[in-house]
Chains A and B, each alone.
Chain A
Amino acid sequence: MLHYLIKKSKFLMLLSQNALERNKQEPSQDDQNTPANLSQSLKTNLDLIKGVIGNNYDVVIREFSFDRQRQVSASLIYLSGMTDPTIINESILKPLMFESRLSSDSAPKLDDIEMIRTTMLSVGEVSKSANIDEIVDSCLSGSTILLVNNCHEALMIMTADWKSRSVDEPKTESVVRGPREGFTENLLTNTTLLRRKIKNSDLTIESIKIGQRTKTSVNIAYIKGLANPLLIEEIKRRLNDIKTDSILESGYIEQFIEDAPFSIFSTVANTEKPDSAAAKILEGRAAILTDGSPFTLTIPMLLIESFQCSDDYYSRPYFVSFIRMIRYLAYAISILAPATYVALTTFHQELIPTALLFSMAAAQEGVPFPALVEAMGMGVVFEILREAGVRLPRPVGQAVSIVGALVIGQSAVTAGLIGAPMVIVVALTAVASFVVPAQTDSGGILRIFFVVLAGFLGGFGIMIGLIGLLIHLASLRSFGTPYLSPLAPLSVSDLKDSFIRAPLWAMITRPRTIGWHDLKRQEFRLKPSPPLEEDTQSK
Chain B
Amino acid sequence: MKGLIKIIVTPLIIIILTLGTTGCWNRRELPVLGIVMGVGIDKAMDSDKLEITAQIIKTSELKSSSPEEGGAGGGSSSSAGAYWNVKNSGESMFSTIRGFTHRTSRKLYFPHNQIIIFGQSLAKQGIQECLDFLLRDQETRLEVLMLVAEDKSSDILSVKSHLEKIPSVGISELMDSQAANSQTIVIRLNQFVTRLMSPTTASIAPIISVQGKADNTELAVSGTAVFKRDKLIGQMNKEETRGLLWVINEIKSGIIDIESPDQEGRVSLEIINAKSKITSEIIDHKPYIKIDVKEEGNIGDQSCTASLVSPDAVAALEEKKNEAIKDEIESALSKAKKLNADVFGFGDILHKKHPKEWQEIKDDWDKIFPNLEVEILVEAKLRRSGNLGSPAAPPEKE
Contacts and interface: CB of A to CB of B under 8 A. Distances in A.
User: Do A and B share a direct contact in the complex (Cβ within 8 angstroms)?
Assistant: yes
Interface of A: 2, 5-6, 9, 261-262, 345-347, 349-350, 354, 357-367, 370-371, 452-453, 455-458, 461
28 contacts: A2-B8, A261-B3, A345-B30, A347-B26, A347-B28, A349-B35, A349-B111, A349-B112, A350-B141, A354-B112, A357-B35, A360-B30, A361-B30, A361-B31, A361-B35, A362-B59, A362-B63, A364-B30, A365-B31, A365-B60, A366-B31, A366-B60, A367-B31, A371-B29, A453-B17, A456-B24, A457-B20, A458-B26
Contacts of B30: 345-346, 349, 360-361, 364-365, 371
A479 B112 CA distance: 52
Interface string B1-30: 001101110100000010011001011111
- Point out which of B4, B6, B29 has the most chain A C-beta atoms below 10 A from its C-beta: B29
A360 B35 CA distance: 12
A346 B62 CA distance: 20
Nearest to B18: A456
A363 B63 CA distance: 7
Given A350-B141, A363-B63, A262 B3 contact: yes
A261 B57 CA distance: 53
Contacts of A5: 4, 7-8
A449 to B, nearest CB: 9
B59 A370 contact: no
A2 B60 CA distance: 53
Chain A facing B: main interface SS: helix
CB-CB nearest 3 A-B residue pairs: A350-B111, A362-B63, A456-B20
Contacts of B7: 5, 9, 262
Contacts of B132: none
Contacts of A350: 111-112, 139, 141
Contacts of B111: 349-350
B193 interface: no
Contacts of B59: 358, 361-362, 364-365
A370 B17 contact: no
B60 to A, nearest CB: 5
B109 interface: yes
Nearest to A457: B20
A456 B62 contact: no
A456 B21 contact: yes
B39 to A, nearest CB: 15
Contact of B29 (A345, A358, A362, A456): A345
Contacts of A357: 35, 112
Interface in B54-78: 57, 59-60, 62-63
B183 interface: no
B33 interface: yes
B67 to A, nearest CB: 9
B57 A358 contact: yes
A458 B141 CA distance: 20
Interface in B96-129: 109, 111-112, 114
A458 B20 CA distance: 11
Contacts of B27: 346-347, 370, 455
Given A9-B4, A349-B112, A367-B31, 20 more contacts: A6-B4, A9-B7, A346-B27, A346-B29, A346-B30, A347-B26, A347-B28, A350-B111, A358-B59, A360-B30, A361-B30, A361-B33, A363-B63, A364-B29, A365-B31, A365-B60, A455-B27, A456-B17, A457-B20, A461-B20
Nearest to B9: A262
A38 to B, nearest CB: 47
A344 B26 CA distance: 12
Contacts of B33: 349, 361
A362 B62 CA distance: 6
B3 to A, nearest CB: 6
Contacts of B28: 346-347, 349
A224 to B, nearest CB: 33
Contacts of B114: 354
Which of B30, B111, B112 has the most CB atoms of chain A within a 10 A radius of its CB? B30
Contacts of B6: 262
Nearest to A358: B62
Contacts of A9: 4, 7
Nearest to A361: B59
Contacts of B17: 452-453, 456
Central interface residue in B10, B111, B139, by most chain A CB within 10 Å: B111
A205 B57 CA distance: 72
Nearest to A10: B4
Contacts of B21: 456
B95 to A, nearest CB: 23
A14 to B, nearest CB: 14
A483 to B, nearest CB: 16
Nearest to A419: B30
Nearest to B139: A350
A110 B77 CA distance: 110
Q: Which of A261, A347, A357, A452 has the most CB of B within 10 A?
A: A357
Contacts of B24: 455-456
Nearest to B6: A262
A497 B154 CA distance: 62
A5 B33 CA distance: 47
A364 B17 CA distance: 27
Nearest to B109: A349
B62 A361 contact: yes
Nearest to B172: A354
B194 to A, nearest CB: 22
B4 to A, nearest CB: 6
B140 to A, nearest CB: 10
A452 B17 CA distance: 9
Contacts of B29: 345-346, 364, 370-371
A351 to B, nearest CB: 8
A457 B17 CA distance: 10
Interface string B131-171: 00000000101000000000000000000000000000000
B14 to A, nearest CB: 10
Contacts of A456: 17, 20-21, 24
Nearest to B67: A359
Contacts of A453: 17
A201 to B, nearest CB: 41
